[in-house]
Every structure is written in C-alpha cells, then in structure tokens.
Amino acid sequence: MLNVIAMADWLTRISLSCFALSYLIALLLEISRLFYRVSVRSVVIFVMMLAGIFAHSIFLWDKFQADFSGGTPLASWYDWCLVISLALAVTYTIIALQRVRHSVGIFFLPVILGLILFAISIEGHQPFSAQERGNLWGMTHGISLLAGTVSMAIAFTTGLMYLVQASRLKRKLPPRAGFRLPSLEWLQVCNRRSLFLATGLIMIGLFSGIIMNVQFQNKLKNIVPWDDLVVISSSVLLLWLIGVSVFEMLYRPARQGRKIAYLTMASFLFLIMVLCFVIFGQHAETPVVAMLWSGGGE
C-alpha cells in the first residue's frame, strides 16, 4: 500500500522537463546517426520515446485531474500545445517502429520540442472562456482545431521529408549512412492524406466557431467581432486549404509530389500565423467572455 502511495507521489512529481529531456535525447541520438553507427541506438531511441510519452501522458493526466477539480480541464493554449506535441510524439514513435532504418525523427522531434518550448512561452496566458468550454460547439471548435493542427503538423513534416528525399534522388545523392528516408511514394501519400484530413478538421473547427459565435451573438452582442483579425485570417486559411485541396484533386500535375509538398509547407506556415493571431490576439479570451467567466453575466 505504501509502495502504491510512494509511486503515486513520485508520478505527481513528473515535470515538463522530464519528457522534454527524453525527446531531446532521442533527437540527439537521431542526429548522431549521421556521424557514427551504434547497433543499439534504435532501441535506446525507442525507450527514450516511450519514457517521454509516458511522462508526457502522466503530466497531462495530472493537469487534467487538477483542472477538473476547479473547472474544465485542458482548456488553455498551453495545454493544447502539450496535447498536440504528445499526439505527434505518439505518431512519430509508431512510424519509427515501422521504419527502424529511416531517419524520421530528425524531422518530427524538432516540431515536438518546438511545440513544448512554445507551450512554455505561453504558460501564463489566460485559459479559454467558460462559454467556449461548456458549449458543445465550443468543444467541437477546439477539438477539431487541435486535431487539424496535429494533422497539419504531420503533413508539414512528411512534406518536408518528401522535398528533401526528392531533391536527394534528383541529384542522385547516395543514401547517407544514418540518413535514410522513407520512399517518395509513402511520403507523398502521408503528406496528401494529412493535408486533406487537416483541411476537413479545420473546416469543422471554423464552422463550429461560427455557429458558436452566432449562438452567443443572439444573447450578447459581438462576442467575437466578425471583422476580428483571427476570424478573417482563419477564413482565408480555410479558403486557402480548400483551394489547395481542390487544386490537388482537379489539376493532375499538382497531385504529383513536389507541388503538393510546397503547398503543404505554405499551409502550415499559414496555420502557424493564424494560431499566433489566435494566441497573442487573445481570441479565446475576449473581454466580454472574460467578464462572463469572472461571473458578471447570465
């Protein structure tokens, strides 16, 4: 019994730096592939990733439980960035398991660590508004945008790998020891599917956001103004993604590798820009909503 308590206590002491360090070690090991060969490296990377994912999950679970007792859990940009990075870490580990000889980690792990760093940088930001958290459309809005971001990050990573692999093959560079990439065909399929999925999810996210806003507008005026920079940029992003998808479906040459990879890169950067507007523009914490959250409304 004491052991269980001690274990539970130990688990609560897991911090963000624990899993960030695991991922960092995995990244360094992936980079070291470029310089020398060690037979057990893949096993160590896998162990590091499992340890990182375990610590990451425990950390989020603890936070979920802590938030749950005081309100809606995982309801801040900080939490979201950590959830996205966990989803990417799991995706990477699954791919790495299937493709032990390929250097997929060099592309995935910097994105995962980048998200964790970004989470740290916005840790002090206000959580989402109560309306958004409690409303069905608000949850749909948030979850689909989160999943869309994960999907777009995967599309970006595989697109980047595609461009690197295509360039190496075009220049007839030999596969460097420790730097083998998956086949062009696999990268293209992953890139394409992730882009379509991201477009669908972001579309759901945006439309649920609009419905939520209309609902609120009926009760309180201008919860989020229609001319808000985030609303405009999100609409433009959605139009862009729909345009890319339609272009890809109708214009056959665009289906072939590089064009779609370049468009994915641009889409991802566009998404990052919109997310920056959202996070730093306090989109989810408009003054009216914040007032409601503090108990002044309804």
Q: Which residues of 114-131 are buried (b: 16+ CB within 10 A; e: fewer)?
A: ebbebbeeeeeeebbbbb
Q: How far is the CB of 277 from other proteins (least distance, A)?
A: 35
* Cβ contact 211:223 at 8 Å: no
Q: Smallest Cα–Cα separation from 32: which of 103, 97, 91, 93?
A: 103
Which lies closer to other proteins via its Cβ, residue 172 or residue 221?
172
Cβ proximity to other proteins, 221 vs 252, nearer residue: 252
Q: Where are the alpha helices (DSSP H) in the chain?
A: 2-12, 16-32, 41-70, 77-98, 105-121, 130-134, 136-170, 184-219, 229-250, 258-280, 287-293
C-beta of 222 vs 256, nearer to other proteins: 256
Say if residues 118 and 81 touch (Cβ distance below 8 Å): yes
Rounded least distance, CB 160 to other proteins, Å: 17
The residue type found at 96 is A
To the nearest whole angstrom, how small is the minimum distance from the Cβ of residue 184 to other proteins?
5
Cα–Cα distance measured from residue 20 to residue 15, given in angstroms and rounded to the nearest whole number: 9
**Binding residues for other proteins, per CB under 8 A?**
165, 169-170, 172, 174-175, 182-186, 189, 252-253, 255-259
> Nearer Cβ to other proteins, position 123 or 185?
185
Least distance in Å: CB of 102 to other proteins?
Answer: 11
**Among 270, 116, 115, 90, which residue's Cα sits nearest to residue 195?**
270
Is the Cβ of residue 84 or residue 95 nearer to other proteins in the bound state? 95
162 and 257 in contact (C-beta within 8 Å)? yes
Task: Name which of 61 and 251 has its Cβ closer to other proteins.
Answer: 251
In angstroms, what is the C-alpha Rg of the chain? 21
Closest separation in Å from C-beta 153 to other proteins: 22
Nearest approach, Cβ of 172 to other proteins (angstroms)? 5
